[in-house]
């Protein structure tokens, strides 16, 4: 038995001696632990969406140059999981909207509500919050209804202002001396002008009321964003 294995063992020893003569580089620490571009989540079984959001790639140091734009990474955020779910582009756009906020008390920044609602939908798809989807859908519908109402009232105000200007102009023309006979159809009274002005004021008040409601939505979305950031 040993005699039959002896040639094979000798051959193995010879191969080992030859391999040892090869100029292999010295081993370095963690050489085998480098993951390169592989997603670490693929090495974990049965991960949940919120667990996968914990693993955020960090920009390599050697990619940075003195003239390159500053890239935000998840480690610099208070909540890296939110940054991972929303993505750097969306977080940057949201922060840009809040960066333009006036420091005056009571002043609300011009926030993209559609963008915030989209971000809320993405977060709710990862973090299962009870009734979050229905509340987001209700907020979106309400915002769309208010925006449409404001646009309609703006059009009505513009129309009424145009009619009021026309009435005032006709009144001035009627007050001026004319050689032609007066036309009863062009008679404009102070009551008509006052009625039009009252209507315009009412429309403007409704418009301001709707704008306050939209402002309240912006403030609510502001608080939601601050809660996740």
Predicted confidence (pLDDT) per residue in 82-121, tens digit: 777 777 777 777 777 665 554 455 555 566 778 888 888 8
Decide which of 14 and 207 is more confident.
14
Give the start-to-end residue ranges of the domains of the chain: 61-175+187-228
User: What is the secondary structure of 5-53 as a DSSP string?
Assistant: HHHHHHHHHHHHHHHHTS-PPPP-TTGGG--TT--GGGGSSS--HHHHT
pTM of the model: 0.40
48-57: long-range pairs with CB below 8 Å, 24+: 49/125, 49/126, 50/81, 50/126, 50/127, 53/81, 53/84, 53/85, 53/126, 54/80, 54/81, 54/84, 55/84, 56/80, 56/81, 56/83, 56/84
Decide which of 173 and 3 is more confident.
3
Decide which of 187 and 126 is more confident.
126
> What residue spans of 77-176 are helical by DSSP H?
80-86, 88-99, 113-126, 132-175
């Amino acid at each position: 038995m040993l005699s039959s294995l002896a040639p094979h063992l000798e051959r193995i020893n010879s191969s080992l001696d030859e391999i040892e003569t090869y100029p292999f580089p010295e081993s370095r620490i963690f050489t085998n632990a480098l993951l390169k571009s592989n997603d670490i989540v693929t090495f974990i079984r049965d991960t949940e969406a919120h667990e996968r959001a914990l693993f955020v790639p960090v920009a390599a140091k050697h990619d940075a140059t003195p003239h390159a734009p500053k890239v935000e990474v998840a480690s610099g955020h208070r909540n890296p999981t939110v940054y991972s779910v929303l993505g750097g582009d969306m977080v940057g756009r949201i922060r840009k909207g809040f960066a333009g906020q006036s420091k005056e008390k009571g002043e609300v920044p011009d926030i993209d509500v559609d963008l915030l609602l989209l971000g809320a939908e993405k977060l709710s798809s990862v973090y299962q919050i009870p009734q979050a989807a229905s509340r987001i859908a209700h907020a979106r519908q309400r915002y769309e209804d208010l925006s449409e109402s404001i646009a309609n009232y703006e059009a009505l105000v513009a129309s009424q202002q145009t009619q009021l200007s026309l009435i005032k102009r006709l009144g001035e023309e009627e007050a001026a001396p004319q050689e032609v006979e007066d036309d009863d159809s062009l008679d404009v009274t102070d009551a008509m002008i006052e009625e039009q002005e009252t209507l315009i004021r009412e429309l403007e008040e409704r418009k301001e009321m709707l704008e306050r409601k939209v402002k309240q939505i912006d403030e609510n979305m502001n608080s939601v964003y601050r809660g996740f950031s």
